[in-house]
Amino acid sequence: MRVVVIGAGVGGLALAAGLVERGIGVEVHEKDERLHAGGAGVGLYPNGVAALNELGVAVDDLGRPIDVMETRDPEGRPALNIDVARISEHFGFVARTVPRRALLDRLHHRLPEGALHLGRECVGVRLHADGTASAVFSDGTRSTGDVVVGADGAGSVVRAQLLGEDPPAMGRWASWQGLSTLDSPRAGGRVASLTQGRQGICGIMPAGNGLVHWWFDVRWRRGLPVTDDPVPVLRELFSSWNDPDVRAVLEQIESSQTRFFPHLNTRVRGRWGQDNTTLLGDAAHIFPPATAQGANQALEDAWALVTALGDSGARADPAWALRRYEEVRHRPAAVASFASSLNGVQRIRLPRLPVRGLRDLPGNTATRWFGGYLSAVSNVLTGQRP
pLDDT in tens, 200-229: 999 999 999 999 999 999 999 888 889 999
Please report, for residues 6, 32, 299, 317, the alpha-carbon distance to residue 305 in angstroms, rounded to integers and kept in the order given.
14, 24, 10, 14
* Stretch 111-130: mean pLDDT: 97
* Stretch 140-145: mean pLDDT: 97
Domains and CATH numbers, the chain: 2-37+113-168+265-376 (3.50.50.60)
158 three-state secondary structure: helix
H-only helix segments in the chain: 10-21, 46-54, 84-91, 100-108, 157-163, 230-237, 244-252, 282-285, 294-309, 318-341, 356-376
Distance CA 257, CA 176 (A): 10
Whether the CB-CB separation of 322 and 277 falls below 8 Å is answered with: yes
pLDDT in tens, 243-268: 999 999 999 999 998 999 999 998 89
pLDDT in tens, 55-72: 999 999 999 999 999 999
Q: How confident is the model at residue 170 (pLDDT cuts 50, 70, 90)?
A: confident
Question: What dihedral do alpha carbons 300, 306, 308, 313 form, nearest 10°?
Answer: 180
pLDDT of residue 362: 63
Inform me whether the pLDDT recorded for 315 exceeds 60: yes
329 three-state secondary structure: helix
Burial of 202 (0-12, 13-18, 19+ CB in 10 A): buried
In the chain, % helix, strand, coil (3-state, to 5) comes to: 35, 25, 40
Residue 112 DSSP class: P
Whether the CB-CB separation of 69 and 317 falls below 8 Å is answered with: no
Whether the CB-CB separation of 249 and 214 falls below 8 Å is answered with: yes
Inform me whether the pLDDT recorded for 357 exceeds 50: no
